[in-house]
Structure 1
Amino acid sequence: MTGDPLDPKGLIRESFRIDGITEAECRSIFLDWALSLPDGVDSRAMLPKLIDRYAAEPADHPMMAVLREGLGQVGGAKRRGGWRGRRGR
Structure 2
Amino acid sequence: MTKDPRDPKGLIREAYLIDGITAAECRSIFLDWALGVPVEKDTQAQVRALLLDYAEQPNDHPMTQTLLAALHDAPPPRRRGGRAGRLGTES
Q: TM-score range by the shorter chain?
A: 0.7 to 0.9
For 1:36 and 1:47, the matched residues in 2 are separated by 13
Over the aligned positions, Cα root-mean-square deviation in angstroms equals 2.0
Contact 1:51 1:64 (8 Å CA) reproduced: yes
For these two proteins, the number of residue pairs brought into alignment is 85
Could you tell me which runs of 5 or more consecutive residues in structure 1 were left unpaired when the two chains were aligned.
Answer: none
In the alignment, structure 2 segments of 5+ residues that lack a partner are: none
Partner Cα separation in structure 1 for residue 79 and residue 17 of structure 2: 40
- Which portions of structure 1, spanning 4 or more consecutive aligned residues, are displaced by more than 6 angstroms? none
Q: 1:20 to 1:79 in 2, by over 3 A?
A: same
- Give the TM-score, by structure 2 length: 0.81
Report the Cα distance in structure 2 between the residues aligned to 1:48 and 1:7, rounded to whole angstroms: 12
Show the 5 A alignment for 1:34-45.
34-45=34-45
Q: Does 1:20 align with 2:20?
A: yes
Question: 2-side partners of 1:84 and 1:64: how far apart?
Answer: 37
The C-alpha deviation readout for 1:36-62, integer Å capped at 9, x for no partner, is 223322211211111111110111100
Identity of aligned residues (%): 52
* Structure 2 equivalent of residue 85 of structure 1: 90
Query: How does the TM-score come out when normalised to structure 1?
Result: 0.82
